[in-house]
Amino acid sequence: PFLVNVIRDPVFLSGNTHTRYIDETPKLFEFPPRRDRGTKALRALADITINGPPGSTKRFKRPEPLIIPKAPKSAGKDAKSPAFEVFEREGAIGLAKWMRGQDKLLITDTTFRDAHQSLLATRVRTNDLLAVAKPSAELMENAFSFEVWGGATFDVCMRFLLEDPWQRLDEFRASMPGHLLQMLLRGANGVGYTNYPDNVIRAFIEEAAKGIDIFRIFDALNYIPNMELAIEEVNKHGKIAEASICYTSDVLSPKEDKYTLKYYADLAVELEKRGAHIINIKDMAGLLKPYSARALIKALRDVTELPIHLHTHDTSGNGVAMYLMAAEAGVDCVDTALSSMAGLTSQPSLNALIAAMEPDSRCPELDPESLQDLADYWEHLRLLYYPFESGLKASTADVYYHEIPGGQYSNLKPRAIELGMGEQWNLVTQRYHEVNLAFGNIIKVTPTSKVVADMAMFLVRNDLAIEDIFEGHQRGETFDFPQSVVDFFMGNISQPHGGFPKELQDIVLRGKKPLTERAGKFIPDYDWTAQNEALALLLERQPTRREAISYALYPKVYSALAQAIAEYGEYRAFNTTAYLYGLELGEETLVEMEDGKTLVIKLLAIGEASDGTRKVYFELNGQPREVVVLDKA
Ligand code: 3PY
Ligand code: ZN
pLDDT of residue 27: 65
How many angstroms is it from 156 CA to the middle of ligand 1?
13
* Cβ burial, residue 290 (10 Å; 0-12/13-18/19+): middle
Ligand 1 pocket mutation pick from 184, 218, 245, 452 by most atoms within 8 angstroms of CB: 184
First CA to last CA across the chain, in angstroms?
34
- DSSP H/E element including 217: strand 214-217
Which residues, including other chains, have CB under 8 Å from residue 475's CB and lie 6 or more apart? none
pTM listed for this prediction: 0.93
pLDDT tens for residues 366-409?
A: 999 999 999 999 999 999 999 999 888 999 999 999 999 877 88
Angle among Cα 346, 293, 250 to the nearest 5 degrees reads 85
Residue 202, Cβ neighbours under 10 Å: how many?
A: 17
pLDDT tens for residues 192-227?
A: 999 999 999 999 999 999 999 999 999 999 999 999
pLDDT of residue 7: 47
Strand partners, 184: 150, 216
| Ligand 1 atom closest to residue 446's alpha carbon, by position in its atom list | 2
| Ligand 1 atom closest to residue 152's alpha carbon, by position in its atom list | 3
Judged by its nearest atom, the ligand closest to the C-alpha of residue 446 is 1
The H-assigned helical ranges of 443-544 are: 448-461, 466-474, 483-490, 502-509, 528-539
**Measuring from atom 5 of ligand 1, which residue has the nearest CA?**
151
Pocket (CB within 6 angstroms of ligand 1) = 114, 117, 151-152, 184, 186, 284, 405, 407, 445-446
Residue type, position 239, single letter = K
How many angstroms is it from 110 CA to the middle of ligand 2?
9
The C-alpha atoms of residue 515 and residue 85 are separated, in whole angstroms, by: 45
pLDDT of residue 147: 99
In total, the chain counts a number of residues equal to 633
Strand 598-606 with 613-620, pairing: antiparallel
Cα distances (angstroms) measured from residue 53 to each of 167, 470, 512, 579, 580: 21, 44, 43, 6, 5
How many angstroms is it from 619 CA to the middle of ligand 2?
45
Cα distances (angstroms) measured from residue 365 to each of 108, 121, 141, 182, 444: 13, 31, 9, 20, 34
**Measuring from atom 4 of ligand 1, which residue has the nearest CA?**
151
Q: Under DSSP, is residue 194 helix (H, G, I), strand (E, B) or coil?
A: coil
17 — pLDDT class (breaks 50, 70, 90): low
How many angstroms is it from 185 CA to the middle of ligand 2?
11
pLDDT at 16 over 70: no
The C-alpha atoms of residue 272 and residue 264 are separated, in whole angstroms, by: 12
Cα distances (angstroms) measured from residue 414 to each of 120, 387, 458, 482, 588: 11, 11, 16, 19, 33
Check residue 598 and report its DSSP letter.
Answer: E
Angle among Cα 103, 105, 106 to the nearest 5 degrees reads 110
In DSSP notation, 271-297 reads HHHTT-SEEEEEETTS---HHHHHHHH
How many angstroms is it from 346 CA to the middle of ligand 2?
7
pLDDT at 584 over 60: yes
**Measuring from atom 1 of ligand 1, which residue has the nearest CA?**
151
> Are the C-beta atoms of 601 and 42 separated by less than 8 Å?
yes
pLDDT of residue 1: 34
Strand partners, 280: 244, 309
Sign of CA dihedral 313, 317, 323, 329: negative
Ligand 1 pocket mutation pick from 245, 281, 446 by most atoms within 8 angstroms of CB: 446
- ipTM confidence score: 0.97
